[in-house]
Amino acid sequence: MKALSALHDTHPVPLEPEPSDVVAYHEALAERGLARFGPGPRVHCHTGLVDRLPPPGMQAPELRKRLKASQEMLLAELARAMGAFPDGGDVLEVGTGLGGGALYWAQEHRATVTSLLSVPAHVEQVRGYAHEAGVGGRIQPLLCTAEGLRSLRCFDAIIAVENACPVPRSQWLRGARTWLKPGGLLAIADCFWVRPGSVHPSGDMWRTHLGSVSGFLDAARRAGLELEVHDNVSSRAVGFWTLTSELLVHEHMARATDARGLRAALNAVRVESQREHLWLQQGLLDGSLEYALLVLRREH
């Protein structure tokens, strides 16, 4: 991968991940998503939108149900932002996890979906889920390789949910334009930094490679993509991480067998919440991070 310096961001650019890092990240993401929201077939591995938090004390099964519904709400809002979504059209979904998004667009919008995946084992898993959901004929899982990318045709829409960060954005956006039909839409749902220094210094590939929203839009313009919709849904994304933090408590407590284990579980919750969730919640609340829905169009 080439350097990301062409984005002209003022924030220091982290080293780009190796292909093995990308595979490992998506493997872990899918494993966690399947454990929380499985068994499928529609399993999502991304942020959701929550408009109203339930009272504290909700049990784990109901929390999982609420979280999965919030993830589907994110996709519904992205479809709304796209306006006249090309129902029955050809869609390239830059896959998150186990093809939940691909199944959503095929089932809810009758789209024919090419699902671009990073993990070889996920190709057959997504194919199996598609057949289980009754849309096997409309979903083609494809491993993201140089050969696979060269075989792509043009699409009515390209949809990327939390997959636009750990890649060379300028190069990726130029490629997206070539894969879109004239008038086609690129729809993005992702988290971006607004103020330098807001990215958490963890080893998580997604977190360490968040770009600025202004840099992304600048790169999109240079690639020949015109912005049509920019929706800031940060306030609605905060609740997802609040519910996920509550679910973490249940997950860790379930592994505790005695008082010592209980103390260790509570400490593990605090550590994981600080690393995974609290910085995101704070950043989305104070405006240093933005969770955005972006819709861009290839005009010609």
Q: Is the peptide bond before 39 cis (omega within 30 degrees of 0)?
A: yes
- Please work out, in degrees rounded to the nearest 5, the angle formed at the alpha carbon of residue 250 by the alpha carbons of 258 and 38: 125
Q: Which residues contact 229 (CB under 8 A, 6 or more apart)?
A: 81, 82, 83, 293, 294, 295
The one-letter amino acid at 258: D
Task: Say whether pLDDT at 72 is over 60.
Answer: yes
Are 82 and 185 in contact, with CB atoms under 8 Å apart?
Answer: yes
Q: Which residues contact 26 (CB under 8 A, 6 or more apart)?
A: 97, 117, 118, 119, 122
Q: What is the pLDDT of residue 9?
A: 43
Q: What is the pLDDT of residue 91?
A: 95
Tokens read off for 133: 């959901």
Q: By C-alpha distance, which of 251, 190, 235 is closest to 59?
A: 251
Question: CA 173: distance to chain centroid?
Answer: 17
Q: What is the pLDDT of residue 4?
A: 31
Q: What is the pLDDT of residue 146?
A: 63
Mean pLDDT of all residues in 155-169: 84
Least reliable range by pLDDT among 52-56, 64-68, 166-170: 166-170
134-149 confidence digits (pLDDT tens):
999 999 999 876 666 7
Mean pLDDT of all residues in 234-259: 79
* 289-298 sheet: strands from edge to edge: 139-143, 112-117, 90-94, 155-161, 180-193, 289-298, 225-232
Termini Cα distance of the chain? 28
pLDDT band (50, 70, 90) for residue 198: low
Per-residue DSSP letter, 188? E
Task: Say whether pLDDT at 168 is over 60.
Answer: yes
How many residues are recorded in the chain? 300
Q: Count Cβ atoms below 10 Å from residue 266 Cβ, excluding itself.
A: 14
Are 259 and 180 in contact, with CB atoms under 8 Å apart?
Answer: no
Residues 63, 2: Cα–Cα separation, whole Å: 41
Q: What is the pLDDT of residue 275?
A: 61
Are 198 and 10 in contact, with CB atoms under 8 Å apart?
Answer: no
Query: Which domains, and CATH codes, for the chain?
Result: 14-46+74-234+290-298 (3.40.50.150)
Main-chain phi, psi angles of 293, to 5 degrees: -105, 120
Average predicted confidence (pLDDT) for the chain: 82
